[in-house]
Chain A
Amino acid sequence: MVSYRLTTNGLLHTYRSNLQGSFNTLGTAAEKVQTGRKFLSYAEDPASATLAFQLRREHWQASAQKRNNSTVEKSFQQAFSSFDMVKNKIASETAHVNSLRGLNDPDGTARRTLGQSTLEAAKSAVQTMNVKYGEKFLFAGADGKNAPFDWKEVPVEKQQVYDPETMGADIPKVYAERTQKVDADGKPIIGADGNPEYYEKGDPMKDAEGNQLYYQKGELMLNDKGDPLMETVMEEKLCFRGVPVDSPEKLADGTDNPDYLKLKEMMAETTYVDIGLGMQEAPDGSPIKSTVYNSALSGLQFTDFGLDEDGDPKNAISLMNEIGKLLQEASDMDGQWHKVEGTEDEWTNSSEAYDRLFKLTAKLEKAMDKMDVEYTELDTKAAFLQTNETRLTTEIKELNEQILDVEEIDPVEAITALSWAQYCYNAGLKIGNSILSQSLIDYMN
């Protein structure tokens, strides 16, 4: 037998709690309109709040990744334009053209000038490859604070050439290898045991009369064991981060050349950045390469390093330098090459020099082919970064929309809800007035 009798206080109690509820609803609806948010606390809608934070986090990350992408892309564009200059203007249009002109110069008189121009081109290539983006040298691999390419005097091991002025005395000549003894007619000398006789490596070299021979000026020397006599001289070389780019892979003794290993390591340097490929690390803390992007550019990759099978540089700039030097060695008078005693030129007459120029030109072309490949590669990378930026922009936009969808109110809905709450509250107030005024007592006489 409950609730059959609604009392004055019972009615007021119900009214009071309902009015409070109505006022609360009004307050919440008003706050939603004021803040523009669907929920004002985590507890109000835990699922949406969790989703909203997750989306915001993704939005934050995507924005950072876009910034990263943009930075890398700009630096690559800068690198592209510099390398374009080196490849097309300096190497192709200047150095290569110069060498071709040097080869085809009818009287050779322009060779020295061409040489000068080519040397300048090589210097200019170095300066261009030392381009900076922000505070970072673009082609320096992972050492962006230091300019990568430089012409430096470096110690070079060279086989010594006999020069009586510096040597001070005649030095006996020795055999470089085991050599069969022959008589004046050139027939092998047979020993008492019936076998041919030999000069051993390092044995003094004698003429047919048995007189000791001595080194002549300009001759390459051997030590008393018959091995090349080496000396260390300083020579200006193109260096990458202090290491000569034309370092041979092996040392004279056949061991690995530490400089070459350094160059190899420097070429493979990486600085990975997060551009939204899902950056992850392997358990050992190293990055999983497919999830990160390598932003490091190494000048070695673009211009090559080391020596080829002929012992000539592979590096395009070094080749330009070599070509420039060779052209400069042509005579002012007749444009031909004349061997000067005591020099270490790899030619002995003009024809050989011409052949060498021809060879170096071909090698420069080969180096330029390699540059072409790298040029295309860089272009592809820049294109990928552009696409990636578009993807990230779309992702950010979509995330933004999702965040708005989860967090932001629909103004129409919110204002309608507020109006309704206001209407209910006003109606509630009116009812209150009539509740309080009515009872049988008011009608009693």
Chain B
Amino acid sequence: MSNVSTFGSFSMAKLAIYASQKAMAVTGNNISNINTPGYTRQSLDLNSLYVGGADQFSSKWDAKIGSGVIVSGVSQIRSPYLDIRYRTENTNVGQADKRLEALNELNRVMDEVGDGTGDEGVMEAALQGLIEQLEYYTTEGAGRDDFDAILRGKADEICKVYNTIGTKLEQIQKNQEASFKQDVETANEILKKIQHLNIAIRKAEIHGSAALELKDERNMQIDELSKYVGIDVMYEEEDIGGGFMVDKLVIKIAATDSTNKDIHGKLLVDGQFAGQFKVEDLEETDAAPDGDEQETVKPKEYKMELGDLKDRYGLTAYKQNPIKATETVFGFNMVDNDTNSYTLKIDNTEVTFDANQNKTVEDKLKEFAEKYNADERNANWSVQVVSRNVGTGSTASKEFGLKFTAKSDGKLGGDFNSNTEYPVLEDSQFTGDGPVYVQADGQDPIKVQEGFEIPQGDITGSLDMCKELLTHKYDFSGESGESAGIPYYQEMWNQSARKFAELLNEANSMVDENNVLKADAPVKAENYYQTNADGEFLDANGDVLTPNADGGYLDANGVDQRVARKQYQGGTLFEASGGGLLTAKNIAVSQDWINGKSQVMQSNTDTSLEQTTQNSGLRHLLSIMKDNKVEYQNKNGDPIFTGSFAEMLTKLDSTLAIDTSKTQAELNNYVTSLNELTVDRDSISGVDLNDEAIAMMQYNKSYSAACRFMTQLDQMLDKLINGTAV
């Protein structure tokens, strides 16, 4: 017969009331936190209580009844699978969002759609404005005095637009750099927060708390971290002694390529330890250090690293269980003249002892030691056979072991296999199941994870995207498969400005830098009258001609060398303001042009005749402006685009637009997916008012039923006590 207690059922009723009350409290907590960010729905862990087992009075005819309900705790309802998917998607969102943010900035500078008067675009209109004026002067304005000034005005307009774009692109690059560093700071803050939360949760769990709210906060931080870098999250059990286990959160890097073991699986957080990202600005190099005229932008290089794993005080974490000793002894409980065979393998040395070798343990170990020490691969350790006396009197015997002395840091491990169990000696370091880490005296201990560099493209998330945007030169780099970063656009705009200046300068002068008529000049030397440094016209002999009132130019004999007309006067039209390589930011109308030393060359026709309305020079410039065969090269000098100046702008705009459009579509996909995952996650972990209303009704009823049960018991006992055998 099972134990019968008069008031036992009262306890059952009491537990039932207690359970319903607690459940109602959990429901109330859920409803209260319905709007709390990151809150995970909680539920009460209820277990049916059964007291007792087989006892001396037990009988097979006995009916064993449970003792009610036990509240064993409160738990959260989460789906690890959805967490992984959410965070993976969040990494994609972070990456695409960061890219789109920068591309939108670039679009604000470069996108000309709908800009300018009549939606013509700003740069487009400036270029077409110059072409239009050249058309006009070629047709009816050749010879007019005002044409040079008007064309200069138009050219200046183009320079100003180039300058604005060049300056703004530089500003975007600076802003992006600041954003990169800020993001690194934020990611580090998150890592720190997670580290602190890990410590708090560990403590709470040791003290028996489930720390659910802390876990909610931690989950939110992990979600946030996943925006910056792709991660794998794992929960490991940590033995804190006494057979008590607590959860340990481990966050690892999910590299772009999971086979890249240098990065993939590296620890970001390991329980109470966490790493911190570091960004080092590598020294900026000169614009063209190798004299490469092609390249004008040398973007700053950044070295991104993950530092050593450290604890919250900033102290480096070391391997969990390093043996702080310079020597270790492996003992083996073997016997002399053994009839069994066995193999001893330690470090790189392996010796098999066959059965019936008629050797003592000491001899066998000596043989092993000798072989071990002779092996050059075993550089970290030296070994010698040691013995100790055990037992006394008739039980006195000797035990033998191998004493390893460390020469430097290293690990030591091995196997001891035999067909008979020969356990290692109890106090031996040798456990036979894995390597033993030994730290040599005076040497640094082994770090849990040494800091390492994270190369561009090896990780996912917004941090890597920031770096990509800051450094990638896409087409210009000549490397395939790269995406365009800000330096690409800077470089191509610079090249666009430079080609514009170079080609027009080249076309507008028939002399070289030494003021000597070029070999391929369209004019014969006898027909060309160059100017000296003061802008005076010279005849074929280099003598200065004197202008007269009729617009003629007289030689020393007073003969009008009218052919020395201004139509041949060309010169530099554009230059780099402030010197150096010409870029979009510094292109300017040359000082010579402003001062009148240079002017647009009206004619390049080879003749000794006076041709006041000859337009061949202007027409040549016009052809260059419209020429669709201007070649743009990458840094290796290979052509990457051929087209007119205006077409080059379209090429840049469309490259940016296609990238933006693609990134926008990607982001839309990721965000849609993330939204779905948010809802899916919420469907598991979120609070629903209907659910809670049902729970309220349910617990209300169960509470009433438990109370009713107690009343009923009371009535029954009252009958028994007061109404029975009266």
Please list the residues of chain A having a beta carbon within 8 angstroms of any beta carbon in chain B: 1-10, 13-14, 17, 35, 37, 39-44, 46, 49-50, 52-54, 56-57, 60-61, 64-65, 67-68, 71-72, 75, 134-136, 140-146, 241, 262, 265-266, 269, 271-274, 279-281, 284-287, 292, 295, 407, 439-441, 444
Contact = CB atoms under 8 A, between A and B. Distances in A.
Contact of B619 (A40, A273, A441): A273
A269 B696 contact: no
A65 B139 CA distance: 10
Contact of B113 (A2, A39, A143, A280): A39
A52 B622 CA distance: 23
B679 interface: yes
A8 B121 contact: no
Given A8-B687, A440-B690, A64 B132 contact: yes
Nearest to A57: B646
A440 to B, nearest CB: 4
24 contacts: A2-B684, A5-B691, A7-B691, A8-B689, A10-B686, A37-B113, A37-B114, A41-B657, A42-B653, A43-B664, A52-B113, A64-B136, A67-B139, A71-B139, A75-B140, A142-B612, A142-B613, A144-B142, A274-B619, A279-B622, A440-B690, A441-B689, A444-B696, A444-B697
A49 B688 contact: no
Contacts of B60: none
A17 B613 contact: no
Interface stretch (B46-54, B177-185, B435-443, B601-609): B601-609
- In this complex, the interface size class of chain B, counting residues with CB under 8 Å from chain A, is 35 or more
A58 to B, nearest CB: 11
Closest 9 CB pairs of A and B: A144-B613, A145-B612, A43-B660, A42-B657, A440-B693, A10-B682, A7-B686, A142-B611, A7-B688
Given A143-B609, A281-B627, A285-B620, 15 more contacts: A10-B686, A42-B113, A42-B654, A43-B657, A49-B653, A53-B124, A54-B650, A60-B132, A68-B138, A136-B140, A146-B612, A271-B615, A279-B626, A292-B619, A439-B693
Contact of A2 (B609, B646, B680): B680
A3 B611 CA distance: 85
B406 interface: no
Nearest to B82: A2
Contacts of B103: 43
A44 B613 CA distance: 48
Given A135-B144, A444-B697, A56 B620 contact: no
Contacts of B646: 53, 57
B613 A5 contact: no
B515 interface: no
B23 interface: no
B484 to A, nearest CB: 13
Contacts of A286: 522
B269 interface: no
B656 A57 contact: no
B687 A143 contact: no
Select the residue from A42, A52, A287 with max chain B CB neighbours within 10 A. A42
B691 to A, nearest CB: 8
Interface in B636-685: 646, 650, 653-654, 656-658, 660-661, 664, 671, 675, 678-680, 682-684
B111 A42 contact: yes
B582 to A, nearest CB: 23
Contacts of B658: 43, 46
Nearest to B660: A43
B34 interface: yes
A292 B79 CA distance: 75
A281 B646 CA distance: 18
Nearest to A60: B128
B131 interface: yes
B694 A440 contact: yes
A444 B82 CA distance: 33
Contacts, number: 219
A9 B682 contact: yes
B131 A6 contact: no
Given A53-B121, A146-B612, A43 B135 contact: no
B150 to A, nearest CB: 15
A66 to B, nearest CB: 10
Contacts of A57: 124, 128, 646
Contact of B34 (A9, A39, A144): A9
A331 B424 CA distance: 155
B680 A241 contact: no
Select the residue from B113, B614, B696 with max chain A CB neighbours within 10 A. B113
B559 to A, nearest CB: 13
Contact of A14 (B107, B132, B675, B689): B675
B105 interface: no
A284 B521 CA distance: 9
A274 B622 contact: yes
A50 B132 CA distance: 21
B610 interface: yes
B616 interface: yes
B623 interface: yes
A8 B686 contact: yes
B120 interface: yes
Interface string B114-131: 100001110010001001
A253 B139 CA distance: 43
Contacts of B121: 53, 56
B143 interface: yes
B83 interface: no
B618 to A, nearest CB: 10
Contact of B609 (A39, A262, A279, A444): A262
A7 B687 contact: yes
B526 to A, nearest CB: 13
A141 B614 CA distance: 9
Nearest to B672: A17
A65 B135 contact: yes
Select the residue from A266, A284, A285, A444 with max chain B CB neighbours within 10 A. A285
B327 interface: no
B139 to A, nearest CB: 4
A46 B661 contact: yes
A142 B614 contact: yes
Contacts of A287: 616, 619, 623
Given A71-B140, A136-B143, A144-B612, A8 B680 contact: no
B507 interface: yes
B247 interface: no
Contact of A274 (B138, B522, B660): B138
B610 A143 contact: yes
B657 A46 contact: yes
B112 interface: yes
Contacts of B690: 8, 439-440
Contacts of A43: 103, 107, 111, 656-658, 660-661, 664
Given A44-B661, A65-B135, A9 B144 contact: no
B135 A67 contact: yes
Contact of A40 (B113, B140, B693): B113
Interface in B341-377: none
Given A3-B680, A6-B679, A42-B111, A143 B613 contact: yes
B620 A141 contact: no
Nearest to A273: B139
Interface string B516-527: 000010100000
A41 B619 contact: no
A272 B616 contact: yes
B607 A265 contact: yes
Contacts of A441: 689, 692-693
Contacts of A60: 128, 131-132
Contacts of A241: 609-610
A241 B607 CA distance: 14
Contact of B682 (A7, A72, A143): A7
